[in-house]
Each structure stands twice: as structure tokens, then as C-alpha cells.
Structure 1
Amino acid sequence: MEIMPTLLTMMSTTLLELPEDIMMRVFASLEIPDLVRAGAVCTFWRSAYTALHKLGTHKQPQTPCLLYCSESSSENVACLYSLVEKRVYRLTLPEPPLHSRFLIGSSLGLLVTVDERSEMHLVNPFTGQQIVLPSVTTMQHVKPICDDSGAVHKYAYSRHTANQVICPPKIIAPAALREVFHQKSL
């Protein structure tokens, strides 16, 4: 009777260790929540999930999710509502809190946010990773104005092309510059 447990062990091992390219094809057809769950099954499946992610070959059109913040949640928590699963996922995001930022765009699951100083951040809501994008002061048409302590409290903002000044410099508060970025993203 030792044959039966051995046979079951061999069958389950075989099912878990399909060739990685086949696993990646199967994974590429999954919705994001199912894909993340599949990557958590075992180290082999995690390897296939990671390879698929690195190659960027997950081209399956995804049903959109709705991202929102709630007053009943802490400042660093965003809610992601899956239309497919009809379920809410709570995501903890890095500082600065998402509640205090403008969301000015999203693409491929990444968010572009602008904080109270008008600095932009690229945020992956699934992993919590965040990249601070180059400062607005690196843009040719934005010049910082500092107070006596050296902190930026206003900006001189102008609109121009290489050949023409569209709008001479205006002194604006960081919140107003944040509004400009939000309008440009629309």
C-alpha cells in the first residue's frame, strides 16, 4: 500500500512543476488578484510569476479596479475595489499619506501623485514601493522661492516654448502649482 501515497506525491509534484513557460502562459491569462495569489502558492510558481512580471508580458486586458480613500481608514490606507471579485482590498501606502496628495494619473497599475509641496511620486499601490520623481524645480519653467529659513514656500511659474513666452512668470503657492500639474494631466 506504499504505492498510493508515492503516486499521489509524484502527481502533485508534477502538477506544481509544469515547465515555467507554460506556467507563464497560464498566469498571463489571469486577472491581477488571481495572478498575485498564484505567485504565493510555492517557490516554483513564485519564480514563474516573477519571470512574467520582469518580462512585462502580462498583456491580459484587466477589469479596472476603483481606488479610493475613506475617512474611516487611516491616512496611509487606500481601498481598492475589485469589480471582478466585488471585494475591497485595503492597501497600506508609504508616506506622505495618499489622503494629502493629488492623484494626477495612472498607468499600468502605477499611480502618479503630487504632494503638498508639488513634488511628484510614482506609487505602486500593490507593493507599496514609491519613487520620488525629479523635483519640480528641475523643470525649466518652475523656479523655487525660499523663505528666510531656506524652505520653499512659493514658486515662480511661467509658460513658454523655445521660441515664445506664453505666460510671463507668476508667483504661485505650492497648492496652485499642484493644480497646474493636475490640469496638465487631464
Structure 2
Amino acid sequence: MDIFALLEIPDLLRAASVCSSWNAAYSAVRSIGHYRRRPQTPCLIYTSESAAGENVTCLYSLAEKRTYRLTHLDPLIHKRYLIGSSHGWLVTADERSEMHLVNPVTGEQIALPSVITIEHVTPVFDDSGSYIVVLLHNPFGQLSFTRLGDEKWTWLPARTEVDDCIYMDGLLYAVTSFGEIVAFDLIGTRAVTKHITGERLGKSKDDEEGYHYQR
């Protein structure tokens, strides 16, 4: 049992299959909890459609220098983000940031509570029930948005740098570095921009602009 407690997991499983007495020792090591304190050599997990197919997840053992192919993970792990790991479990997030704990060896998955139950997280939906995601990014405080079903980000042209934005009552409000407040109506296929406050060269504060975008 002292020797078994020092083995890597693959070697421990192989030792358990040698004979009944070794299997009993293997079971005893696991049941008393000694083995859990044994640090394991980390494995690398990856997916590759060209090498293994869409539904195959590969686990590369650094200790054994070999690859194990796992085919029982559903939903497919390559469609989720890997955001952490601990004690053989992976923390994954899907396209809506909903998280699952995944054991890549056993295929077990545990759904964590929805992220919208976090105190400071609120889902943003339009009138049709689809989510809208707005990204404030470089260069110079630019705005882009995407909606459920979109295949690309849509840029919202702004004459000056945007400092912050908020989505309320079906409109996206943005405040610029010059104190200008701009409202964007993102419903439908024609986004409409209206300047709420602040003067712009050659434009009055009540002017509206419109442009089309493709989903």
C-alpha cells in the first residue's frame, strides 16, 4: 500500500489488475484517502478536428508521454472555454458564460448555478428575448455590438472617444470624453443613432443618423 500510494494514476490502475491481493491493496489505498494527497504529473488537454474528429477530446500524459482519446464528453468540450482546473476537474464556460465542472477522464459534468444569479450580473435582452453584447474597445474608445444569431461584431461609429455605456429601455446610451451623450437603437436591421446632449460640428444636438448592418 505504501508503494501504491506513490504511483501515478495509470500505473495504479494497472497494478490493481495484476491479481486479487493487489486489487485489494489498491482499493484500500483509495478508501483511506492516502492517495488523494499524492501530487500527480499534470496532463495536457486539447481538441483537434483534423487529428481526432469533432467529438474527440485528447488527454496527453506527460508522465507516460502518450495520448488518450476521450469520446464521451457531451456537450463537446471544444465549444466551451476552459477557465480553470483543480484536482482533475476542469472549469468550463459556454457561449453564454454558463459554467460546468468537467471530469475529462470519467466524463462526469456538474452544472454550476447560472451566472445571472450572481449579485452584480444582470442579463440584457431585447424585445424578442435575444441577448445583446456591447464591447468597449481600442482604438480610442470604440463601440461594437453583437446579438444572438449574428456572425460578426457590428461597429458603432462615434466621432469622439466613448468613456462608458449602459443599455436601458431598449436603447444603448454612451457618454463620450467630451461629455456628449449618444443613444443607439439596436433593434431591427437598421441601427439609429441620436445625439441626446452636446454639440457637434455641422450638426445640431437633435440630429439622427441611421445605417444598416447584416446579421
The structure where helix makes up a greater share of residues is 1
Amino acid at match of 1:100: K
How far the C-alpha of 1:60 sits from its partner, in A, is: 2.2
Amino acid at match of 1:86: K
Q: Is the 8 A contact 1:68 1:80 kept in 2?
A: yes
Equivalent residue number for residue 70 of structure 1: 48
Decide whether the 8 Å contact of 1:94 with 1:128 is kept in 2: yes
Question: In structure 2, what is the Cα distance between the partners aligned to 1:96 and 1:77?
Answer: 11
Cα pair 2:73 2:104 within 8 Å, conserved: no
Alignment of 1:11-22 (within 5 A): 22=1
Give, in whole Å, the separation in 1 of the partners of 2:20 and 2:55: 30
Q: Please, which of 84, 94, 102 is the counterpart of residue 73 of structure 2?
A: 94
Aligned to 2:3: 26
The answer to whether 1:142 aligns with 2:121 is yes
Q: TM-score, normalised by structure 2?
A: 0.53
Contact 1:144 1:155 in 2 (8 A): no
Query: What are the Cα deviations for residues 109-154 of structure 1, in whole angstroms up to 9, with x where unaligned?
Result: 1100001121101001110100011111111111123455656x24
Deviations, residues 33-53 of structure 1 (Å, cap 9, x unaligned): 112333445676556545544
Unaligned runs of 5+ in 2: 135-163, 168-215
Of 37, 46, 52, the match for 2:14: 37
Which of 133, 155, 158 matches 2:112? Answer: 133
Q: Are the equivalent residues in 2 in contact too, given 1:96–1:115 (CA < 8 A)?
A: no
**Shift in Å, 1:76:** 3.1
Structure-1-length-normalised TM-score? 0.60
Greater relative contact order (Cα 8 A, min sep 6): structure 1 or 2?
Answer: 1
Larger Rg: 2
CA 74–27 in structure 1, closer or farther in 2 if over 3 Å, else same: same
| CA RMSD of superposed structures (Å) | 3.0
Q: Identity across aligned pairs (percent)?
A: 60
Matched, 1:103 2:82: yes
Answer yes or no: is the 8 Å Cα contact 2:60–2:67 preserved in 1: yes
Structure 1 segments unaligned to the other structure (5+ residues):
1-21, 157-167, 172-186
SS, match of residue 53 in structure 2: coil
Letter in 2 for 1:112: V
